[in-house]
Amino acid sequence: MHDIRQIRENPSAFDAALARRGLAPVAARILELDAARREKIAAAEAAQAERNAASRRVGAAKAAGDEAEFARLRELVAQKKDEIARLEDEARAFDERLRAMLMEIPNLPYDDVPDGTDENDNVEIRRWGTPRAFDFAPLEHYQIPAAAAGLDFETAARLSGSRFVMLRGAMARLHRALAQFMLDLHTRAHGLEETWTPVLVKDEAMLGTGQLPKFAEDSYRTENGWWLIPTAEVTLTNTVAGQILEPGALPRRLCAHTQCFRSEAGSAGRDTAGMLRQHQFEKVEMVSIVRPEDSRDELERMTRCAEAVLEALEIPYRTVVLCAGDMGFGARRTHDVEAWLPGQGKYREISSCSDCGDFQARRMNARFRREDGAKPEFVHTLNGSGLAVGRTLIAVAENGQQADGSIRLPEALRPYMGGAAVIRPDGALA
């Protein structure tokens, strides 16, 4: 959520930043609601002062035996009480309208975020590895015999419908191994604290990280009001909701492996083949809570944590900074890490790391103190995939595929696969 004071101080800059996201000006409407709210608050305070003054004179009129003045003052006190209640209700209504409007406005991009409208305007900042030269036509993951043996889309469709998969045998083990490998790398090498979180949350948690109210259709809600998390960003970031962190508590770096659920409401017809875009999937999520001056460096650190997973798994990748028009709702700057998928012949997103500034912290009221007794300040929050497990499985399968239909496993994964180096064309480990 945005700081209303900054909008008051420079409304044109606010509108200019939103224009970079392709949005129409809104500052004038925001300030109109803000002025109406403040007017009602000021009127309520003035009426309260008049009521207090009249209340003080009631006793004097009674003591002086001035019954007419006593009655007049009592009536005035009663009238002011009703007036104050009305003005406070009107101020509250304007405040709710203002808050609702601010809740639906995305974060503002940093000045150095490139301009642009979509993924075609994103800017590559580095790449690692050389895509392998195949002496055969590489297949997509679901076409590779070794993978196809363990990807059961038919049974999943009977159970749940489209965009679900059931993993069997070596594919199920590879999926589990990847999550364990990522957690071990992040906790041992990168210093993140492993966390296990619920996957069902209340409205307040989804509001805090920006999934509500604007993107309700993208998530699933149970009949009794819980939301299934679209990512552990929701639970990990909300661990500091409503808190004032004491000096020395930052940075806080967390990671969690969870199931994630997305309706994919806006992706009809996209990536329907295979398991690239699913309603239910797993991720190892990273979240950092830091001081404002540290968030830009933390974004680079988090991005490197994601990249390190791909390097260890021998998967070529490139990293891009998203243009202003392609960033997510809560981000001020986003780095996407894209793995090379030879079956598609292109780089595809496998991690998205975002610096949200104080945008989520204001929604959650998450603050910290620099020193004992200091005024609380809003923290900065960051989140990123470290990585999406299913997409990493796809990358391992496609980059490791062999001409005979088998899959060569990266060295780093073999201890997690019982020492196996290959998944045979029939789906067995060897």
Please give the annotated binding residues for ATP, written as ranges: 262-264, 349-352
How many domains, the chain?
A: 2
Residues 85 and 188 in one domain: no
If you average pLDDT over residues 392-408, what whole number do you get? 98
If you average pLDDT over residues 333-354, what whole number do you get? 98
Does residue 183 or residue 75 have the better pLDDT? 183
Residues 38 and 154 in one domain: no
CATH number for the domain harbouring residue 136: 3.30.930.10
Q: Is residue 429 part of a domain?
A: no
| The pLDDT of residue 70 | 75
Please give the annotated binding residues for L-serine, written as ranges: 231-233, 262, 285, 383, 385
Please give the annotated binding residues, written as ranges: 231-233, 262-264, 285, 349-352, 383, 385
Residues 419 and 349 in one domain: yes
pLDDT tens-digit readout, 123-160: 999 999 999 999 999 999 999 999 999 999 999 999 99
Q: Is residue 111 part of a domain?
A: no
For residue 73, cis peptide bond before it (omega within 30 degrees of 0)? no
Q: Residue 193: CB partners within 8 Å, gap ≥ 6?
A: 187, 252, 253, 254, 255
Residues 97 and 194 in one domain: no
3-state SS class at 202: coil
Domain boundary among 69, 103, 137: 103
Q: Is residue 418 part of a domain?
A: yes
Catalytic machinery residues:
262, 277, 349, 352, 391
pLDDT tens-digit readout, 230-288: 999 999 999 999 999 999 999 999 999 999 999 976 666 677 789 999 999 999 999 99
| The pLDDT of residue 73 | 76
Q: Is residue 114 part of a domain?
A: no
Q: Residue 390: CB partners within 8 Å, gap ≥ 6?
A: 175, 275, 276, 278, 281, 282
- Domain hosting residue 52, numbered range: 4-103
Residues 42 and 130 in one domain: no
CB atoms within 10 A of CB 404: 11
Q: Is residue 108 part of a domain?
A: no
Does residue 322 or residue 270 have the better pLDDT? 322
CA distance 296 to 312: 25
pLDDT score of 63 more than 80: no
| The pLDDT of residue 322 | 98
Residues 35 and 165 in one domain: no
Residues 382 and 268 in one domain: yes
pLDDT tens-digit readout, 214-234: 999 999 999 999 999 999 999
Mean pLDDT, all residues of the chain: 95
| The pLDDT of residue 1 | 87
Residues 145 and 202 in one domain: yes
Residues 179 and 53 in one domain: no
Domain boundary among 103, 131, 153: 103
pLDDT band, residue 55 (cuts 50/70/90): confident
Element (H, E) at 252: strand 252-261
Residues 43 and 96 in one domain: yes
Residues 198 and 155 in one domain: yes
Q: Is residue 428 part of a domain?
A: no
Q: Is residue 110 part of a domain?
A: no
Residues 99 and 130 in one domain: no
CATH number for the domain harbouring residue 56: 1.10.287.40
| The pLDDT of residue 273 | 86
Domain boundary among 103, 137, 160: 103
